[in-house]
């Protein structure tokens, strides 16, 4: 395995992911808020993406749409770097010889490579994901009396230190189950679909290599990966963002399976697709930006 190519893949993936994360952060904030909306059977605050964005700007200012950006960028420098950078090496380790035409690589190996890259990278980056969700939902949660809880964190560093102090170091890995589940489904669907669909587009002459092909492929990949990962994404946001009692224990859900069951029972199975459209609206441009940036980096720097 060429370590130089692996390093380039990690760097390109991390850089491209950070660019995409910054551009799509307002959509991510609204998506997370919508996913938490009604958690535990409470009254919903928002009627959709635009209503959520409007209420956030009105109550907290335009900066509220970029809540959690610092930990999100820190997360992408690890998660995004590993997820995109390890896909190729893992795929090749499954018996694919370097240089094999992509249309000759079995789809199953692409899915396995995407799943492996997603699971590994998300487990490593879970602390930054947890802090991002906590900051994005800070001030949205209600206590037992129905009143809004005061904001708990002043920023990324304070959130990290508070979580370690109140919940222990392992508290930074709270929600790692649904996080890995989401990342496995997302990466397997996104990377495998992008790789396979683009290969078929080019092989059958529907598109030529270029921006239009990347955009068309990203649209298909974004839709498939959003459908596959949304239930895990909702559960991840709810498990990570739920309020804690005085002892630091969660008050709504005991874990991933409990959240799946309670959300479905109290709000219906479709609650697991809360925030689907802003999620889709974030994934498609993110996938498009990531692959445009990565392909331009590879084209210009090898």
Residue 55 neighbours by CB distance under 10 Å: 16
Confidence of residue 3 (pLDDT cuts 50, 70, 90): low
Structure token digits, residue 270: 């479709």
| Residue carrying structure tokens 């928002």 | 46
Residue 139 neighbours by CB distance under 10 Å: 17
Confidence of residue 10 (pLDDT cuts 50, 70, 90): confident
Output 191 or 300, whichever has higher pLDDT.
191
* Range with lowest mean pLDDT among 19-23, 53-57, 158-162, 243-247: 243-247
pLDDT at 41 over 80: no
Distances (CA, A) of 36 to 58, 181, 211, 219, 252: 19, 18, 36, 26, 12
Task: Spell out the alpha helix ranges (H) of 138-247.
Answer: 156-167, 176-203, 211-241
Structure token digits, residue 205: 């002459």
pLDDT at 202 over 90: yes
pLDDT at 264 over 90: yes
Task: Convert the pLDDT of each residue in 106-144 to its tens digit.
Answer: 989 989 999 999 999 999 999 999 999 999 988 887 766
Confidence of residue 294 (pLDDT cuts 50, 70, 90): confident
Confidence of residue 84 (pLDDT cuts 50, 70, 90): confident
Per-residue pLDDT, averaged over 145-174, amounts to 90
Distances (CA, A) of 230 to 43, 74, 144, 185: 21, 23, 28, 9
Q: Over the chain, what is the mean pLDDT?
A: 88
The dotted CATH code for 3-301 is 1.50.40.10
* Range with lowest mean pLDDT among 209-213, 240-244, 246-250: 246-250
pLDDT at 2 over 60: no
Per-residue pLDDT, averaged over 189-211, amounts to 90
Confidence of residue 13 (pLDDT cuts 50, 70, 90): confident
SS3 content of the chain, % helix, strand, coil (to 5): 75, 0, 20
Predicted local confidence at residue 249, as pLDDT? 85
Give the start-to-end residue ranges of the domains of the chain.
3-301
pLDDT at 262 over 80: yes
Structure token digits, residue 110: 């692409």
What's the gap between Cα 103 and its chain centre?
A: 28
Closest CA to 117 of 133, 93, 140, 148: 93
pLDDT at 5 over 70: no
Predicted local confidence at residue 4, as pLDDT? 58
Per-residue pLDDT, averaged over 173-187, amounts to 90
| Residue carrying structure tokens 């190519």 | 5
Q: pTM for the complete prediction? A: 0.73
Predicted local confidence at residue 6, as pLDDT? 66
- Output the DSSP codes for 271-283: GGGTTHHHHHHHH
Predicted local confidence at residue 27, as pLDDT? 92
């Amino acid at each position: 395995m060429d370590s130089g190519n692996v390093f380039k893949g990690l760097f390109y993936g991390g850089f491209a992911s950070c660019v995409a994360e910054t551009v799509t952060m307002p959509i991510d904030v609204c998506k997370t808020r919508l996913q938490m909306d009604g958690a535990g059977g409470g009254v919903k605050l928002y009627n959709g993406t635009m209503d959520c964005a409007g209420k956030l700007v009105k109550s907290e200012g335009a900066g509220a749409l970029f809540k959690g950006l610092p930990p999100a960028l820190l997360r992408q420098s690890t998660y995004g770097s590993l997820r995109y950078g390890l896909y190729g090496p893992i795929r090749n380790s499954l018996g694919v010889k370097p240089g094999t035409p992509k249309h000759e690589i079995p789809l199953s190996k692409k899915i396995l490579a995407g799943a492996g890259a997603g699971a590994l990278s998300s487990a490593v980056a879970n602390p930054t994901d947890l802090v991002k969700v906590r900051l994005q939902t800070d001030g949205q949660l209600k206590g037992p009396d129905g009143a809004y809880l005061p904001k708990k964190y002043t920023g990324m560093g304070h959130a990290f230190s508070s979580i370690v102090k109140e919940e222990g170091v392992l508290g930074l890995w709270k929600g790692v189950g649904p996080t890995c589940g989401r990342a496995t489904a997302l990466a397997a669907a996104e990377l495998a679909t992008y790789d396979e669909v683009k290969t078929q587009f080019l092989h059958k002459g529907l598109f030529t290599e270029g921006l239009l092909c990347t955009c068309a492929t990203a649209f298909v990949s974004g839709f498939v990966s959003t459908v596959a990962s949304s239930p895990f994404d909702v559960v991840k946001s709810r498990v990570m963002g739920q309020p804690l009692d005085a002892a630091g224990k969660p008050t709504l859900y005991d874990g991933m399976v409990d959240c799946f069951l309670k959300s479905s029972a109290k709000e219906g199975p479709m609650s697991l697709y809360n925030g689907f459209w802003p999620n889709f609206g974030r994934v498609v441009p993110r996938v498009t930006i990531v692959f445009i940036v990565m392909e331009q980096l590879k084209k210009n720097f090898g």
